[in-house]
Amino acid sequence: MLSLTKKNEDQLDVELRWHSNFRNFERLPDTKVVRTKFFVNTAAIVVTIALLSWTGYREYHIRSLDEQIAEATRQIDTNTKQNKEALRLSQIFAAEQKKIGDTENFLRVPISVSGFIDLVGQTLPKEVSIEYAEVRLADRNSRLFTLRGLVAGTRDQASGSASSYVDLLRAHAVLGKLYDPNN
């Protein structure tokens, strides 16, 4: 029984001949139309080209942005001197405009001080004498003309004369504009 379990080399050849599949796979030609390696290589090449294209586009975009930044910086450097000069001239203009505005406000008095005194003197009755006249021109909206004086006569006569003089000043064409409507 021992001899039956043992195989010799002659028996191996015989068994191979009686095998149902006689093909030698290593020697047979390949029947695939398109190889799998082709798809793998093509996919790898497409992905590589796509990544290189994307990287190239990004680099081109970054380069164009750098050129735009450089151009903007050149323009800023070019315009810096002009801007500083324009700011300096604008400050000078603002200062001069403030001076002119202050002068206009000062000169926009409805009546000059000498004109006020002259008109008061022309309208002054004989029984009234002015002791003190004050003019405050500090602000355009708060100009103040103040007169203080004495009226001759008794108290009743003086009171009547002062009231009639105040009414005369309020009715005057130029001096009437100076009165505060609240007083």
Q: Residue 9's pLDDT is what?
A: 55
Q: Which residues contact 123 (CB under 8 A, 6 or more apart)?
A: 165, 168, 169, 172, 175
Which residues, other chains included, contact 172 with Cβ-Cβ below 8 Å and sequence gap of 6+? Answer: 119, 123
pLDDT on residue 158: 84
Q: What tens digit of pLDDT does each residue of 53-94 get?
A: 999 999 999 999 999 999 999 999 989 989 999 999 999 999
Q: Which residue has the higher pLDDT, 2 or 126?
A: 126
Q: What is the pTM of this model?
A: 0.39
Dist CA 54 CA 175 (whole Å): 86
Among residues 8, 172, 72, 159, which one has the least CA distance to residue 145?
172
Banded pLDDT at 22 (limits 50, 70, 90) = low
First-last CA distance in the chain: 151
Neighbours of 41 (CB within 10 A): 11
pLDDT category of residue 112 using cuts at 50, 70 and 90 = confident
Categorise residue 130: left if φ over 0, alpha if ψ from -120 to 50, beta otherwise: beta
Identify the residue with better confidence: 111 or 152: 152
pLDDT band at 182 (very low <50, low <70, confident <90, very high): low
Helix, strand, coil tally for the chain in percent (to 5): 65, 10, 25
Coil, strand or helix: which one is 176? helix
Mean pLDDT value across the chain: 81
123 pLDDT band (50/70/90 cuts)?
Answer: confident
